[in-house]
């Protein structure tokens, strides 16, 4: 099935047509094709259907683009590269590092980087709490963490002064935020085309 018209319509609905060229959209679909192919053997995601992958993975990842600043971005628990590798495709002005503890996922992400020629992406295999890069990150994102307090705790040593955490969530996790004593800078409702479920981006800053 031809997914490019659906992706283009989604890009337009997200207001990203000036950001995502047709060439970038084709790269996004090349990524999705690799994810689908490797998923048969490596079990990278529970989502199997290409249409569902387009919405649940690709559109969902693209929805955060307006809220990502130029510079360094760390994607924690990136899995198959979501949203990190999608950001790397769509935003050449962002230096993306993805990290995951599962070796087969890191191998897949390195294959994507090689096949798509993503010079602004770096893949790390390891535990985030044991990761010590040469310099801290101005932005740290995750769509994998269920718990915001744990996300902050494990990445606290990696965030730059005045850096921003971006937690991709479903419903607004008010109880989690209260328990963690985190006051978000912004709570952004993400409108993901063709997705009925609620999606939010919780942004909070490193004020240390």
pLDDT score at 40:
86
b vs e for 13-43, b when ≥16 Cβ sit within 10 Å of the residue's Cβ?
ebebeeebeeebbebbbebbebbbebbeeee
User: How does DSSP classify residue 47?
Assistant: -
Superfamily of domain 4-205 in CATH is Vaccinia Virus protein VP39 (3.40.50.150)
Task: Calculate the alpha carbon distances from 97 to 87, 100, 142, 148, 171 in Å.
Answer: 10, 10, 12, 20, 27
Q: What are phi and psi of 37, to 5 degrees?
A: -65, -50
82 is in an annotated binding site: yes
Tell me whether residue 128 is annotated as binding: yes
> In whole angstroms, how far apart are CA 115 and each of 2, 27, 44?
21, 10, 18
> Sign of the C-alpha dihedral, residues 32, 37, 38, 41?
positive
Return d(Cα 32, Cα 29) in angstroms, integer.
5
Strand 186-190 relative to strand 199-205: parallel, antiparallel, unpaired? antiparallel
The rounded average pLDDT for each run of 10 residues, N- to C-terminus, in the chain (208 residues) is 91 97 97 94 88 95 98 97 98 98 97 98 98 98 91 97 97 93 96 95 93
Tokens linked to 189: 């409702």
The burial class, CB within 10 Å (0-12 / 13-18 / 19+), for 127 is exposed
H or E segment at 116? Answer: helix 103-116
Residue 77 marked ligand-binding: yes
pLDDT, residue 101, reads 96
User: Would you list the DSSP string of 9-28?
Assistant: HHHHHTT-TTTS-HHHHHHH
Residue 1 confidence (pLDDT): 54
129 annotated as belonging to a binding site for a ligand: yes
Q: What are residue 73's DSSP bridge partners?
A: 96, 139
């Amino acid at each position: 099935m031809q997914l490019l018209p659906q992706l283009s319509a989604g890009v337009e609905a997200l207001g990203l047509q000036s950001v995502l060229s047709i060439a970038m959209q084709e790269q996004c679909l090349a990524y999705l094709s690799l994810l689908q192919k490797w998923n048969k053997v490596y079990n990278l995601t529970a989502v199997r259907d290409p249409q569902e992958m387009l919405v649940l993975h690709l559109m969902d990842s693209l929805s955060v683009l307006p809220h990502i600043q130029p510079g360094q971005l760390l994607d924690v628990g990136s899995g198959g590269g979501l949203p990190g590798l999608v950001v790397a495709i769509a935003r050449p002005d962002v230096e993306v590092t993805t990290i995951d503890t599962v070796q087969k996922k890191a191998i897949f992400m390195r294959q994507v980087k090689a096949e798509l020629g993503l010079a602004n992406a770096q893949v790390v295999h390891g535990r985030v709490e044991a990761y010590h890069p040469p310099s801290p990150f101005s932005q740290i994102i995750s769509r994998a963490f269920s718990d915001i307090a744990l996300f902050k705790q494990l990445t606290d040593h990696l965030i730059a002064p005045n850096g921003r955490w971006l937690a991709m969530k479903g419903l607004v996790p008010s109880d989690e935020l209260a328990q963690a004593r985190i006051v978000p800078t912004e709570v952004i409702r993400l409108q993901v085309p063709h997705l009925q479920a609620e999606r939010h981006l919780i942004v909070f800053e490193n004020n240390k």
